[in-house]
Every structure is written in C-alpha cells, then in structure tokens.
C-alpha cells in the first residue's frame, strides 16, 4: 500500500530531516515494505538517502526562468526529487490553480517520468447537490489528465474533509473509490482527516490502495503506526 504524508506549510528543514529519520528508523526496525511518500514544505527539501520517497508539494511547469515565487525542475533535480503532488485542493481552491494550469503541470512532469500524486475531490456544496452532480464535478478534475500514465497515483480527497475532522462514511469512501477506479486503474488513495484512529478501517476498504495524510502525519509516531497498519493488512 501507499502511505503518504503531506506536511503542507509545516516543519523547517531541520525538523523535516529529523522527522524523516524517525520514520526511516521505524521502517527499518520493523522491516516494513510499504511505499512511503513524504511531501515536505518547499524550503525543507533536501538530499535523501532513505527508503522514503520524498516529493515536492508543487513546482512550476518549467526547468527554470522568470516565475517569481515558484521553483522549477532544476530545484527538484538538485535533490534528485522525481515525485510531485498536483491538484491538491488547497492549491485549487486557496491558490486558485485552474484545471488548465494543472494539466500543463501534469504533462510537463509526466514527460519527465515523475511519479505524480494527482488529487481530486468535491467541495461541500457539490456533495450536498447529490451524487450525480458530485461525480460530474470530480469527473471534470480528470479532464486532460492521462489516467493511464504508469507513474500515476490518484488521491481522492473531499475538500470538506480536509483538516476538518469530518470524513465521509466508510461506505461512501468505498462507493466513490469503486466509481473512481472505473476511470483509472492507478492506485487510489483516500485523504481527508485520516487519523491514527480511523486509518486502519479506511485502509481495509476495497479499492483503497493507501492514504494521504495531512495534520495527523505531523506526529511521526502516528504516521509510523499508519504504515504499520498497512503492513498488517497487506500480510493478511
């Protein structure tokens, strides 16, 4: 399974390195074989020789150039980073990235062979508008995306569940994941208020191939427990 941590705008470089070390020690001590991804803040990116895959939360679709405030491929290459998160709801809804911009970014990093974690998910008003409208909205986030890309991972994250402590019911997660699996056979993660207390039951659902965790992942020991849950389920 794939267990991913989105550290967002948290942890300095020193703190991130300590965090990664703690997780790597745990993985080694327990011989865990799950795929573990960590997305640190941009200025916390660093060289990484652990088994953890470190990815960027964002980068511009460029090698370098005049794009104030952005980073490009050269900055990722400096640390041998080949993984990127695209389409996270905070970038779509707070930072205003459009589907068109995301597609451009997706294609740029796809052509470079990056592992891409591409996020989709509906805001509350779409969920409340009923299943059809909700699924139409989520489908529109697949527009222009190569759903067959071999290094693609999709994360379903309902916007209203991110950082709120609210989650869909387990039945809802399974139901939506089953529908989304028809759009792409890429591994499908669930994200949105995954905690150490609900991670196991979410991971156990059919068509859930892993989790993308924000706030709860900031506690290294909680994140480690989630990796261990995945291992237990895998060995059943």
Site for ligand PGA in 204-223 (CB under 6 A): 212-216
Binding ligand PGA (rule: CB under 6 A), the pick from 6, 16, 141, 184 is: 6
Find out whether 33 and 1 touch, Cβ atoms under 8 Å: no
Q: Which residues are catalytic?
A: 88, 157
- Distance separating alpha carbons of residues 125 and 110, to the nearest angstrom: 32
Check the CA dihedral 146-148-151-154 and report its sign.
positive
Min CB(116)–ligand PGA separation in Å: 15
Residues that bind ligand PGA (rule: CB under 6 A) add up to a total of 13
Closer to ligand PGA at the Cβ: 61 or 199? 199
Under the criterion CB under 6 A, does residue 194 sit at the interface with ligand PGA?
yes
Task: Count each helix (H run) and each strand (E run) in the chain, helices first.
Answer: 9, 8
Q: Which two tokens mark 21?
A: 């070390």
Find out whether 142 and 184 touch, Cβ atoms under 8 Å: yes
Closer to ligand PGA at the Cβ: 57 or 73? 57
Phi, psi of 129 (to 5 degrees): -75, -5
Closer to ligand PGA at the Cβ: 55 or 192? 192
- Residues lying near ligand PGA in the complex (CB under 6 A) are found at 6, 157, 162-163, 191-194, 212-216
């Amino acid at each position: 399974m794939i267990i991913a941590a989105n550290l967002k705008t948290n942890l300095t470089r020193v703190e991130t390195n300590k965090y990664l070390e703690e997780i790597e020690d745990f993985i080694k001590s327990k011989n865990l074989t799950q795929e573990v991804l960590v997305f640190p803040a941009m200025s916390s990116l660093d060289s990484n020789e652990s088994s953890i895959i470190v990815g960027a939360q964002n980068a511009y679709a460029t090698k370098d150039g005049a794009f104030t405030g952005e980073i490009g491929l050269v900055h990722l290459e400096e640390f041998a980073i080949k993984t990127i998160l695209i389409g996270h709801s905070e970038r779509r809804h707070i930072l205003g990235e459009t589907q068109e911009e995301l597609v451009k970014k997706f294609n740029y990093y796809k052509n470079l062979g990056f592992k891409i974690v591409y996020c989709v998910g509906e805001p509350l008003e779409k969920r409340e508008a009923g299943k059809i409208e909700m699924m139409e909205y989520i489908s529109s986030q697949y527009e222009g995306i190569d759903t067959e890309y071999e290094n693609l991972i999709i994360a379903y994250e309902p916007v209203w569940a991110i950082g709120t402590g609210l989650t869909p019911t387990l039945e809802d997660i399974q139901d939506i994941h089953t529908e989304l699996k028809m759009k792409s056979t890429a591994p499908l993660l669930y994200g949105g208020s995954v905690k150490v207390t609900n991670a196991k039951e979410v991971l156990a659902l059919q068509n859930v191939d892993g989790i993308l965790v924000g706030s709860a992942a900031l506690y290294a020991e909680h994140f480690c427990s989630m990796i261990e849950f995945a291992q237990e389920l895998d060995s059943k």
